[in-house]
Every structure is written in C-alpha cells, then in structure tokens.
C-alpha cells in the first residue's frame, strides 16, 4: 500500500478504479481492510474508490500522537488533508461507526468538497447505549489511567490477540481481532473518547449533501436510534434498516449492502 505523510502521520491507503472519487473511512480499532470487497465493487462500477488507515490504525503510523489528539475534528482534518494531497476535487464519503462521525464533520466543514454521504451505523450524539454505560464512568477513567507508555503490556496484548485471531474461523471476525491488535493504545483510548464526546445533533440539519444512512436493526454496539436521528434530521436523507443485522452490515449482508451502496452513489453522481 502507498503511504503519504499527512501532518505528523504516515497514512497508508489503497485506491482502485477510474471515475468519480469515493473515500471509505473505517471506524474505531479497524482498518481499510473492512472495505476491501466494497472497494473492488465500486471500482467495477466506474468509480475511483479509496480506503485509508486512520492515524494509529492498521498500517498507518501515528508518529507518537497522544490520546488527546484523537478528536473527531482532528481526524476529519487529517482526512481533509489527505483528500487535498491526492488531488481529489470532490468526493463521496462512506463512513462506518466512528468513520461516520468523521464523514459528518468533514461534510460540515467542507461542503464544497463533499458530493454525497453514506453513513453506516454512524456515531452521532455520543450516546452509545450499553457501551456508553460501561465506559462513561469508572471503566472510562480506568482506561484513561492506563498509560500508553506501558509498552510491555501493549505488546503482550497485541501478541495475544494476534495469536487468538488465527483460531477464529470467521474471516471478518479474524480481521477485526487483528485490526484491534494493531491499533495503538493512544488511538484506541483517544478514539473511544472522541466518539463519546462527539455530539453532532444540532448540526445535522446543516448537512446538504445527498445522504444514505444504513444500519442493522440488531446493532448492539451503537443503538440504531443514532442512525434514525441522522436520517430524520439531515434534509432529504434516506434510511435503510437491514433486518437481523448487527454493527457490520458490509460483512453480515454483503450482497445487499453493496447493492445499496453502488445504487445510491451512482444515482447521485449521475444526477450531479
């Protein structure tokens, strides 16, 4: 994968196809690998599809950024710098979970660059259901107290997770465990705090890009009400709720997800 130095970060990315630009943004403790199949599908549909590893995730180097750097605004700024650096003039953004938050922030700050949005189980209001309850008080403070400088503990955790991943039969789950192991402690703790501290509710009506919101009806990571909120407050947004699907629609119902993604992007890009 090619690498670009953006601010203090070495950003790995992948691009396929020729045509209007689509940039896919992964969520917390993930990587561009979650988009490998949709990336190819978009390229075959006449689009130029990009996927990157956010700072501190996947193969991207965070260059020692502290956990406090990982705000949605800073991550969106890094994505914006990437878009400008590779010469993209206008872009459709696809964001999953925290990546959806980043896409919203980007679209709000740079409407001139944003052609369309696809928000997949986005984090919108900072309310994360059961996960919020678990990490918003004592557990969250404990996580913050664990210094990322404890490299021996981090290295042990990475080796343990990577070893365990080899025993997991599901390719998607194995990928998720591997990506978690490769996420820096700063990016993990900082990203978690970024999502919990992010409340885009009042700015949702100011998004003017065509928007598709996709969510699983059985999402136990982020409540589907987050997607309902986004779809009901973004003017003209369309909501697709996939029955029986959890937090990973692209993995759990790949054919259906790809169909919604390609049809929406192609329709809106043709109209423009």
Alpha carbon distance 61, 57 (integer Å):
8
pLDDT at 153 over 50: no
Predicted confidence at residue 159, as pLDDT, reads 52
Predicted confidence at residue 149, as pLDDT, reads 46
CATH number of the 3-148+184-271 domain: 3.40.50.1820
Alpha carbon distance 125, 202 (integer Å):
9
- In this predicted model, what pLDDT tens digit does every residue of 18-69 receive, in sequence order? 999 999 999 999 999 999 999 999 999 999 999 999 999 999 988 778 889 9
In this prediction the pTM is 0.89
pLDDT band of residue 17 (cuts 50, 70, 90) is very high
Predicted confidence at residue 152, as pLDDT, reads 46
pLDDT at 155 over 70: no
pLDDT at 136 over 70: no
Q: Where are the domains of the chain?
A: 3-148+184-271
Contact 90, 272 (CB under 8 A): no
The whole-angstrom distance between residue 243's C-alpha and the CA centroid of its chain comes to 22
* Arithmetic mean of pLDDT over the chain: 87
Percentage, residues of the chain above pLDDT 70: 83
- In this predicted model, what pLDDT tens digit does every residue of 87-132 receive, in sequence order? 999 999 999 999 999 999 999 999 999 999 999 999 999 887 655 5
| DSSP secondary structure string for all residues of 8-57 | TEEEEEEEE-SSSEEEEE--TT--GGGGHHHHHHHHHTT-EEEEEPPTTS
Written as six digits, the tokens of 170 are 């599901």
């Amino acid at each position: 994968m090619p690498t670009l130095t953006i601010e203090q970060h070495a950003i790995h990315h992948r691009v396929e196809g020729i045509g209007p630009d689509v940039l896919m943004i992964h969520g917390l403790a993930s990587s561009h690998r979650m988009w490998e199949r949709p990336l190819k599908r978009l390229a075959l549909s006449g689009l130029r599809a990009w996927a990157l590893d956010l700072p501190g995730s996947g193969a991207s180097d965070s260059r020692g950024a502290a956990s406090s750097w990982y705000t949605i605004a800073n991550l969106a700024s890094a994505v914006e710098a990437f878009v400008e650096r590779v010469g993209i003039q206008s872009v459709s953004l696809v964001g999953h979970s925290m990546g959806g938050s980043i896409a919203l922030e980007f679209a709000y700050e740079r409407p001139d660059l944003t052609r369309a949005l696809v928000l997949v189980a986005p984090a919108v209001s900072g309310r994360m259901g059961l996960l919020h309850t678990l990490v918003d008080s004592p557990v969250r403070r404990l996580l913050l107290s664990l210094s990322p400088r404890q490299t021996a503990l981090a290295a042990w955790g990475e080796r343990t997770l990577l070893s365990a991943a080899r025993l997991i039969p599901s390719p998607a789950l194995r990928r998720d465990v591997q990506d978690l192991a490769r996420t820096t402690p700063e990016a993990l703790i900082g990203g978690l705090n970024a999502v919990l501290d992010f409340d885009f509710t009042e700015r949702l009506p100011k998004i003017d890009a065509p928007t598709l919101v996709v969510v699983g009806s059985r999402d136990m990571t982020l409540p589907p009400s987050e997607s309902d909120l986004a779809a009901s407050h973004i003017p003209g947004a369309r909501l697709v709720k996939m029955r029986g699907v959890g937090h990973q629609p692209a993995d759990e119902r790949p054919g259906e997800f790809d169909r919604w993604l390609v049809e929406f992007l192609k329709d809106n890009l043709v109209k423009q």
